[in-house]
Amino acid sequence: MLRVVTDFFTKGKKKMSPRRLAAAALVAGGLAVGAMAAPASAASAQVTETWHLMGSYAYYGDCVKAGVKAISNGAAQDFSCKPSGSRYDFYLYY
């Protein structure tokens, strides 16, 4: 691989300095390693959609208002307001 890099940069030109040659080899090696590592990092970056407790409201209407706002902003796919004692727990699905 180093030979290919040196041939590319030295064809028809004067010889490259050892420092520039080493830099070109490091770049080529980094590109090869990055190409192999990309699929694994993309797969691990996927997030599982699930319900998240976002807070608690004293009034049911306030809870619903927050859910509608979250959906209209595109922050969530669904919401739920479940009674919890004298309050309403606010859940978002995203």
Per-residue pLDDT of 8-61, as tens digits, reads: 555 655 565 666 666 666 666 654 445 455 555 455 555 688 999 999 999 999
pLDDT at residue 93 greater than cutoff 80: yes
CA distance 10 to 19: 14
pLDDT of the residue at 16: 58
Sheet arrangement for strand 78-84? 51-57, 87-93, 78-84
pTM, to two decimals: 0.51
pLDDT of residue 48: 80
Percent residues over pLDDT 70 in the chain: 50
> Could you tell me if 21 and 59 are in contact, meaning their C-beta atoms sit under 8 angstroms apart?
no
